[in-house]
């Protein structure tokens, strides 16, 4: 009865569509990878790296809805 589960014509049709589906998926992944990372449209000046100090840290948190912050010790050679 296993031949009834996958008769030749439906299986062939699914296998024939597989390359097209894989191509569409790959195309979508490429488009997402090439899309701009910023969606809020702020001006290019905000793309710059900020040097945060105790004096401007709270203000930066207020002004920017999203930030990636790297904390490091300037005296540490491998940091």
Catalytic residue numbers, as ranges: 76-79
User: How far is residue 45's CA from residue 42's CA, in Å, rounded to a whole number?
Assistant: 8
Q: How many CB atoms lie within 10 A of CB 31?
A: 9
Provide the token pair at 25.
């998926």
């Amino acid at each position: 009865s296993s031949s009834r589960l996958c008769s030749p014509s439906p299986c062939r049709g699914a296998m024939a569509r597989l390359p097209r589906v894989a191509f569409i998926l790959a195309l979508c992944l490429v488009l997402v990878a090439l899309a701009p990372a910023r969606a809020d449209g702020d001006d290019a000046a905000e793309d710059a790296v900020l040097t945060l100090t105790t004096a401007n840290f709270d203000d930066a948190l207020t002004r920017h809805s999203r930030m990636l912050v790297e904390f490091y010790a300037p005296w540490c050679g491998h940091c």
